[in-house]
Amino acid sequence: MNKEELLAKIESLRTEANGALAALDSLVSLQEFKVRFLGKKGLLTDILKSLSLLGPEERPIVGEAANRAKTEIESRLESLRKNLDQKERSRLQSQKQVDVSLPGLKLPRGFRHPLSLVEKEIESIFVNMGFSVFEGPDIESDYYNFEALNFPADHPAREMQDTFYIGPRTMDQGQRTQEKVHGPWSMVHGPLLLRTHTSPVQIRTMEKQKPPIYMICPGAVYRHDDDVTHSPMFHQVEGLMVDRHLTFGDLKGVLTLFCQTIFGKKLKTRFRPSFFPFVEPGAEVDISCVLCAGKGCRVCGGDGWLEILGAGMVHPAVLEQVKIDPKKFTGFAFGMGVERIAMLKYGIDDIRLFYQSDMRFLEQF
């Protein structure tokens, strides 16, 4: 074949290709076209193979024409491919059309109890300040619940905390039962009862550990009481710091920091004298009302303050009881009701809601 024939052939190939391109309507036919015209055994390759038959001066001319045709076909092919690709994607996408307003998959989920959430929050604040967490038994002896805590025997201070006692009423029968149920230690430490506060854990800790002691003790406590604001069982977090150089000013500082962490930085605290046998000076801690910010409302009884904590410097008699020298060490203790804090935090008005397991209540937390 000579130069002219080849050029004509290229031209006719080009025309044919353009015609065929126009008819392509799928990625499959596009692939077939590519093989037929541009493949290793394709028509254009055939032409390029014939180049060797030409003379050296003719070869570049024909070669260039062939390449031009190839480039043209390739570029048209590519744009067609893009076009078809796009069409194909649109088709697939239209199949996947959804109504995004349909509800998402609902897997069942449970809820943590609000008291757990609040107790966790209280604990983490104190743990972050360096307090350890200790626990103790709900069934306690008179010694740990009262006597070691400087509650004088036969004094009305004991009636501040109405107590549940364990076992039958009569002494003889009672002792036998207690021996059987609670082992010999009960005989040493007086009648058994349900702890009225978690302070016994403080005594148990101080018996085992020398200062410095920085601890909190969360847990269930029991009082012989039942109405809208009192439950016969509720939860407390009590705390204790014993070290050299701790003062009433430190008590104020630590408890204010706690209150502001759990209820907000703007909150104010108020410390006023009160009485708990195991502390002296004793204090009641009020916070500015979380609902009315101290202006006065139904919840705070109009004076803008809410009672939230009991506290005080550990009574020297308590330290002496656990053989810590009150001349060398001072300390402070505090206690709060978890329910009380949860009620203020979440605006809950009936303490019984915590123990009824009403899902309408629990699923709000």
Partner 1 sequence: MKFSIDWLKEFVPVPLKVLELSHRLTMQGLEVEHIEGEGEKAVFTLGITPNRGDCLSLLGLAREVSALQGKPLVLKPKIPPKGQTPIKNFLKVSIPDRKGCPRYMARVVQGVRIGPSPDWMQKRLASVGLKAINNVVDCTNYVMWELGQPLHAFDYRFLKEGRIVVRPEPRPFKFVTLDGVERACLPSDLFICDGEGPVALAGIMGGANSEVRDDTETVVLEAAYFDPKRIHATSKRLQLTSESSRRFERGVDPNNTANALHRLTALIVETAGGTPSQDWTDIYPKKSVPRKMMLSPGEVKRILGVSLSPKEIKKTLSLLGLNGSIPTFRPDISRAIDLVEEVARLHGYDKIPETLPKIGMNLPIQPREAFAKEITAETLTGLGYTECCHLSFTSPKKTVPFTRSLTPRENHEESGSSWVTLSNPLSEEHTILRPVLISSLLDALAFNQHRQRKDIRFFELKKIFCEGKEPLHLGMAATGEEWPQQWGLKPKKIDLFSIKGALSQLARALRLDGLGFEQESFDFLVPTASCSVLFQGEKIGWMGLIDSAVLKSWEIEGDVFAAEIDWEPLSLGSESVALRYKPLSKYPFIERDIALVVDNSLTVQKTEQSIWAMDNGWIKKVQLFDLFKGENLPRDKKSLAFNIRYASFERTLTNEEVNEAHQRLITHLEREIGAILRK
* Residues 214-233 close enough to bind partner 1 by CB under 8 A: 214, 220, 222, 224, 226, 231-233
By CB under 8 A, which span of 6-14, 27-35, 45-53, 112-120 interacts with partner 1? 112-120
Work out how close the CB of 344 gets to Zn ion at its nearest, in angstroms, rounded to a whole number. 10
How far apart CA 66 and CA 74 sit, in angstroms, is 12
Q: What residue 17 binds from Zn ion, partner 1, none (CB within 5 to 8 A, per partner kind)? A: none
Report the residue number, 148 or 178, with the smaller CB distance to partner 1. Answer: 178
Within 29-88, the residues that bind partner 1 by CB under 8 A are none
Identify the CA nearest to 150 among candidates 307, 338, 313, 337. 313
Q: Which residue, chain included where needed, has tokens 């692939």?
A: 31
Q: What residue 297 binds from Zn ion, partner 1, none (CB within 5 to 8 A, per partner kind)? A: Zn ion
DSSP state string for 96-108: T---TTSPPP---
Asked if residue 270 binds partner 1 (CB under 8 A), the reply is yes
Containing 52, the helix (H) or strand (E) segment is none
Report yes or no: 223 and 230 within 8 Å, Cβ to Cβ: yes
Site string for partner 1, 330-349 (x = CB under 8 A): x-------------------
Report the residue number, 6 or 216, with the smaller CB distance to partner 1. Answer: 216
Number of Cβ within 10 Å of residue 101's Cβ equals: 5
Diameter over CA atoms, the chain? 131
Number of Cβ within 10 Å of residue 42's Cβ equals: 16
Q: What residue 289 binds from Zn ion, partner 1, none (CB within 5 to 8 A, per partner kind)? A: Zn ion
Within 292-331, the residues that bind Zn ion by CB under 5 A are 292, 297, 299-300
Q: What residue 145 binds from Zn ion, partner 1, none (CB within 5 to 8 A, per partner kind)? A: none
User: 43-50 vs 27-38: helix axis angle to the nearest 10?
Assistant: 10
By CB under 8 A, which span of 7-15, 69-77, 156-164, 290-298 interacts with partner 1? 156-164
Phi and psi torsions of 196, nearest 5°? -95, -5
Instruction: Retrieve residue 361's tokens.
Output: 């209540």
Among 20, 21, 48, 291, binds Zn ion (CB under 5 A): 291
Site string for partner 1, 304-333 (x = CB under 8 A): ---------x-xx-------------x---
Report the residue number, 50 or 177, with the smaller CB distance to partner 1. Answer: 177
Among 289, 318, 319, 333, binds Zn ion (CB under 5 A): 289
Identify the CA nearest to 146 among candidates 349, 293, 321, 13. 321
Task: List, in sequence order, every residue forming a beta bridge with 335; answer none if it has no partner.
Answer: 238, 310
Report yes or no: 238 and 331 within 8 Å, Cβ to Cβ: no
Instruction: Retrieve residue 234's tokens.
Output: 């509720």
Among 175, 248, 299, 348, binds partner 1 (CB under 8 A): 248
Work out how close the CB of 288 gets to partner 1 at its nearest, in angstroms, rounded to a whole number. 13
The dihedral region occupied by 303, where left means phi > 0, alpha psi between -120 and 50, and beta the remainder, is alpha
Containing 104, the helix (H) or strand (E) segment is none
Report the residue number, 66 or 279, with the smaller CB distance to partner 1. Answer: 279
Residues contributing to the site for Zn ion (CB under 5 A): 289, 291-292, 297, 299-300
